[in-house]
Amino acid sequence: MESLQKPLQVQNLAIVDLPPELIVNILSRLSVKSLCRFRCVSKLWLALINHPRFVKMHLAHTQREKLFMSAGDSNFFYSRKASLYSIDLESISYDVNKVDAVKIDIAAFISDLDIAAFELNHLVKWHTWCIISSSNGLLCFRLGKYFWLYNPSTRERKQVPDFNFPKHMDSGFGFSYVDSIDDYKLVILHRPGNIVDIYSLRKNSWTSIQHDFCIGYGFFRQLGFPLNGAIHWDSYYVDYDLNPDTFDRVIIAFDLVEENFKTLQLPEFFGLGQFFGLFKGYLSFFDRNKDTYRFWVMKEYGVVASWTIILTVNSPCFLRPLCYLKNSNTMMLNRDYGYNQELVFYNPKCLKFKKIEVNGSREFYVNSHIEYVESLVSLNYENHFRTEDKLLEYWF
């Protein structure tokens, strides 16, 4: 009888009988979807799950990666209109032949705009969604001159306050969390000109600063990549003190805390080169000479000698890296034939490309993309960090 009674005792153990620190540890390892449901359990659990300390703990424990894309199907080549999609990277590997891309309903974002009907129709007809960046599960993207922040995991969204976007300017964009000041910043770097516009999520306002950093010829890619508290772009730079007649191609970094610029040197590349952001947490670059691609990473931040070739690939088509699948040591790329595009896997062990279907289609046109992780980070930032409740004393 004793052997039968023990399982019953375990089954009847209520979770409230567990130590609070154990409950916190267990909950911090669950999915965002589950935690959003568990907010309804009690006021105690609601206070815990919404608390910034728990949000950061959960972010550290759960790093489920997804790919967010502005992309289109086979009609995109003719219509040039893209939709927003999400792909769960944890559920795919080199062995799969098909990938499901979940289409994001953008009607809610459009309805946020308080603009005239004719302007709205023009915006939807002639502009494509552009993903700027992601940070701690928050995505930043724009449609025309309008910007949004969005947490796909909680479906919380926020339209950034209206910004007087200059016409006929070549602007660089970036978005990132800044740990030392506990804030999220959206940066718009204008060229020509000497103005940087910065939006603070915590303050929910824009500020403008002037600079004397000379950017020549514009950006090779307008979307900057966040790393080490700075946004990085591939561009030309003129040093008027050392060599005023020479434009050097460099990585321009804008420090989000000090709000100033510095430059990082690119590797000695051949042919056509392109800075493509982050790969395995490193600044990344690739160059192309005829049909040969070389992929580089800067293994030690800011040290030009640390640029290292990690992969060489031969392909007659243009390749654009999208992400790296950790579970199968595989790179996902967008392969462009000029008249159509497709998603492919490349496995460096077998040195082979593999076409993959997306939502049943072989053709899939990626306009912009970014990796992100699931998180509970709230866009109601000001109130979120004022949350102080006596109920929290139970947990912490």
The residues that bridge with 159 in the sheet, in sequence order, are 148
Sign of the torsion angle spanned by Cα atoms 371, 374, 377, 378: positive
The reported pLDDT for the residue numbered 168 is 52
pLDDT in tens, 183-222: 999 999 887 677 889 999 999 999 998 887 766 656 667 8
Highest mean pLDDT among 113-117, 142-146, 156-160, 368-372: 156-160
The reported pLDDT for the residue numbered 2 is 44
For residues 241 and 39, the model is more confident at 39
Given a cut of 70, whether residue 130 has pLDDT beyond it is yes
One-character DSSP codes across 125-169: HH---EEEEEETTEEEEEETTEEEEEETTTTEEEEPPP--PPTT-
The reported pLDDT for the residue numbered 231 is 94
User: Can you tell me the mean pLDDT for 269-286?
Assistant: 83
The reported pLDDT for the residue numbered 242 is 55
- CA-based nearest residue to 189, from 222, 217, 167: 222
User: Can you tell me the mean pLDDT for 374-394?
Assistant: 69
Given a cut of 80, whether residue 348 has pLDDT beyond it is yes
User: Can you tell me the mean pLDDT for 16-44?
Assistant: 88
* C-beta neighbour count of 107 within 10 angstroms: 7
Given a cut of 60, whether residue 145 has pLDDT beyond it is yes
The reported pLDDT for the residue numbered 125 is 66
Q: Which listed CATH number (3.30.2310.20, 2.120.10.80, 1.10.3720.10, 3.10.20.600) goes with 63-374?
A: 2.120.10.80
The reported pLDDT for the residue numbered 13 is 45
Following CA atoms 109, 112, 115, 120 in sequence, which dihedral angle do they give, to the nearest 10 degrees?
A: 20
pLDDT in tens, 293-337: 999 999 999 999 999 998 899 888 888 888 888 777 888 888 888
The reported pLDDT for the residue numbered 378 is 92
User: Can you tell me the mean pLDDT for 158-176?
Assistant: 80
**Confidence tier at 3 by pLDDT (50, 70, 90):** very low
Backbone angles phi, psi at 237, to 5 degrees: -135, 140
pLDDT in tens, 229-276: 999 988 876 665 555 556 678 888 999 999 998 889 989 887 778 887
Given a cut of 50, whether residue 76 has pLDDT beyond it is no
- Decide if 172 contacts 191 (C-beta within 8 A): yes
Local structure of 121: helix, strand or coil: helix
Lowest mean pLDDT of 346-350, 351-355, 363-367, name the range: 363-367
- CA-based nearest residue to 239, from 250, 253, 230, 223: 250
The reported pLDDT for the residue numbered 5 is 43
Do you find a cis peptide bond into 19, omega within 30 degrees of 0? no
Given a cut of 60, whether residue 25 has pLDDT beyond it is yes
User: Can you tell me the mean pLDDT for 363-380?
Assistant: 83
Given a cut of 80, whether residue 136 has pLDDT beyond it is yes
How many CA atoms, within 13 angstroms, populate the side-chain half-sphere of residue 95? 4
Tell me whether strands 307-314 and 292-298 are parallel, antiparallel or unpaired: antiparallel
pLDDT in tens, 96-115: 888 888 888 777 777 777 77
Rounded Cα distance between 367 and 201, Å, is 26
What letter does residue 266 receive in the DSSP assignment? P
How many CA atoms, within 13 angstroms, populate the side-chain half-sphere of residue 133? 27
Backbone angles phi, psi at 132, to 5 degrees: -85, -55
The reported pLDDT for the residue numbered 7 is 44
**Confidence tier at 44 by pLDDT (50, 70, 90):** confident
Highest mean pLDDT among 91-95, 205-209, 314-318, 380-384: 205-209
Location of each CATH 2.120.10.80 domain in the chain: 63-374
One-character DSSP codes across 29-80: TS-HHHHHHHTTS-HHHHHHHHSHHHHHHHHHH---EEEEEEEE-TTHHHH-
Percent composition of the chain: helix, strand, coil (DSSP 3-state, to 5): 20, 45, 35
Local structure of 56: helix, strand or coil: helix
